[in-house]
Structure 1
Amino acid sequence: MNEYILRTHQLSKKYRNDIALVDINISIKKGEIYGFIGQNGAGKSTMLRIATGLVFPSNGSIELFGNDNPNKLTEAQKRIGAIIESPALFPNMTARENLEVHRLHKGIPGKDCIRKTLELVGLSDTGKKKAKNFSLGMKQRLGLAISLLSDPEFLILDEPTNGLDPMGIVELRKLIKKLNREKGLTVLISSHILSELHQLANHYGIIHKGELLEEISAKELDEKCRQHLRIKVDQPAKGATVLETSLSTANFEVMPDGTMKLYSHLDEVRKVSKALTENGLIIEHLAQNGDSLESYFSKLVGGEEHA
């Protein structure tokens, strides 16, 4: 059984008359890159703030590293590295000086962690250049370095690509993958753009107006969004044989309800229809299916724009 890094149980948060979270139940396993998706104002930041101890829930509970005892949560939260909103940088200090301040503040012994962390995020050659003269991508990497300084087991990033150019987004994505692959770091990363996390996350939680609509693996999401011909005939077993013999393809699946998903011949609907009918099959349904990531998300949240 996989170890859970973070689990919440009926977690809710209310600010005076505004309800930010409603009965949230999410589960993040060790080693996952978990993409937390939702429109701006959906409740993502509130959830991350609760996880890091910056905000307390109104109801429900949170479990970190298997601990759900409120008295032990503070200790468990020390094993988390996080960037919530903009990284806290000292603009008139170098990258090394920024890390030294945070090292002292966190009580981390020895200075070797500074050198290792700067190398890890690709900032070891910035020398005397001050943070105020860094590009946005460099500032983001410095913020990431600060969150990694204590060698955390769980990394939480709130909209880390905001304002980054395409190259900066690619660099950040590569770095997160590297941390996950080489250090086994579990990552929770929020965004309001599903396609942005599609090349990164292996599990997703989709939140809308404070409610968790769905948790789904990357494989399941790809399956739902993958373009295919959905075919239903009166004799599913024979239909599968026809696809293999008459169309010379094995690129299909037969679903539990007998429906077939054909992933080839997407532009040859007439050819597929002809092959089935010429072999004595009655076609009950034949149509192209599959969503883009954006349309899937839009349908899930009720068709609203998710900018």
Structure 2
Amino acid sequence: MSDFFKVHNIHKSYKEHIAVDQVSFNLQKGEICGLVGENGAGKTTLLRLLTGLIRPDQGEIQAQPGLKTGALIESPALQLHLSAQDNLHYLGLQLGISNLEERIATVLTLVGLDQVDSRKKSKDFSLGMRQRLAIGLSILHQPDFLILDEPINGLDPAGIREMRSIIHNLRDQAGMTILISSHILSELEMVVDRYLIMHQGKLVRQITKEELEAQVAGSLCLESQQIQEITALLNKLKLSFHQEGTRFFLPEATPLMPLLQEILAEGLVIEAAFHQRHSLEDYYLTLIHGGTPHAQLS
């Protein structure tokens, strides 16, 4: 993969409120990236900046020459008195798309609406069907980069499963790079390659799916105030670990008793040692709120 979309130190504020604070990241061609953050984290403002709906106060957004972007942000703009085909035809005429009927057929297949009665008006669609049509409208012009804001919000389990399949098809069959904002972390976990985690306007962590899975797997946790000394010992023993505050997390299979013997031999103090299981939400809440159980995502 190669970087084809770059964001460098973009900043956006509204009077005294900083919505996006010096955010930088790159997107790689062909990846599906998940944008995670609680209410007010700055996700929607960031998406609006990326699509050009608003301009940053500072920083820059660089894209490969000729890059075409499609987006579904907030409520889909559907012509409710028209069918799916006619909605697409109406937009296609405005965009001047050539081979329009062929393109409409392709889009309907990609979003799973090709078997819907062509006479059925979109006002009679289910929520999931409306979401699929809205995505169809956003990809009619064959974008290289697709931005989706909460595409599975409000869907039932069957609708979520269908949407997950559509997102994968857009990447695998249509070659799109996709950025998804969602608060349903368990569903992001099943579709994305990488996460961008925002908090109070800042991008606080970028982590791949593989890296996250390694961190949220079961682990051996050691707790000690002697951070530098424990760090030095674990490095000396060539053990894999990551540290958060006074806690050290090692692979679950790490033999505990031999490790404790090494620590005691160095005259170091361990205040707690235990095995624990993690979830994606545990990781997020620990990172953002120090594990506060009542935090709400959006």
User: Normalised by the shorter chain, which TM-score bucket?
Assistant: 0.7 to 0.9
- Return the match for 1:229 from 220, 234, 240: 220
Q: What amino acid does structure 1 have at the position aligned with 2:109?
A: E
State the partner residue of 1:254. Answer: 239
State the partner residue of 1:133. Answer: 124
Q: What amino acid does structure 1 have at the position aligned with 2:123?
A: K
Contact 2:77 2:134 in 1 (8 A): yes
Q: Give the TM-score taking structure 1 as reference length.
A: 0.80
- Return the match for 1:173 from 149, 164, 167: 164
Contact 2:38 2:296 in 1 (8 A): yes
- Return the match for 2:94 from 105, 108, 120: 105
State the partner residue of 1:47. Answer: 46
**In structure 1, C-alpha distance between the alignment counterparts of 2:240 and 2:202, rounded to whole Å:** 30
State the partner residue of 1:299. Answer: 286
Contact 1:80 1:153 in 2 (8 A): yes
Q: State the SS of the aligned residue for 1:34.
A: strand
Please say if 1:158 is aligned against 2:169. Answer: no
Contact 1:121 1:141 in 2 (8 A): yes
- Return the match for 1:121 from 86, 91, 111: 111
Q: What amino acid does structure 1 have at the position aligned with 2:296?
A: H
1:16 Cα offset (Å):
2.3
State the partner residue of 1:247. Answer: none
Contact 1:235 1:281 in 2 (8 A): no
Contact 1:40 1:192 in 2 (8 A): no
Q: Give the TM-score taking structure 2 as reference length.
A: 0.82
State the partner residue of 2:225. Answer: none
Contact 1:36 1:188 in 2 (8 A): yes
**In structure 2, C-alpha distance between the alignment counterparts of 1:108 and 1:294, rounded to whole Å:** 43
Q: State the SS of the aligned residue for 2:134.
A: helix
Instruction: List runs of 5+ in structure 2 lacking aligned partners.
Output: 223-229, 243-247, 265-269
1:195 Cα offset (Å):
2.3
State the identity as a percent.
39
Q: What amino acid does structure 2 have at the position aligned with 1:195?
A: S
Alignment length (residue pairs): 273
Go from structure 1 to structure 2 and tell me whether the alpha carbon gap of 1:128 and 1:302 turns closer, same or farther (over 3 Å shift). Answer: same
Q: What amino acid does structure 1 have at the position aligned with 2:287?
A: L
**In structure 2, C-alpha distance between the alignment counterparts of 1:260 and 1:163, rounded to whole Å:** 36
Q: What amino acid does structure 2 have at the position aligned with 1:119?
A: T
Moved more, 128-137 or 38-47: 38-47
Contact 2:20 2:42 in 1 (8 A): yes
Q: State the SS of the aligned residue for 1:25.
A: strand
Instruction: List runs of 5+ in structure 1 lacking aligned partners.
Output: 68-74, 240-252, 266-271
Q: What amino acid does structure 2 have at the position aligned with 1:3?
A: S
RMSD: 2.8
State the partner residue of 2:83. Answer: 94
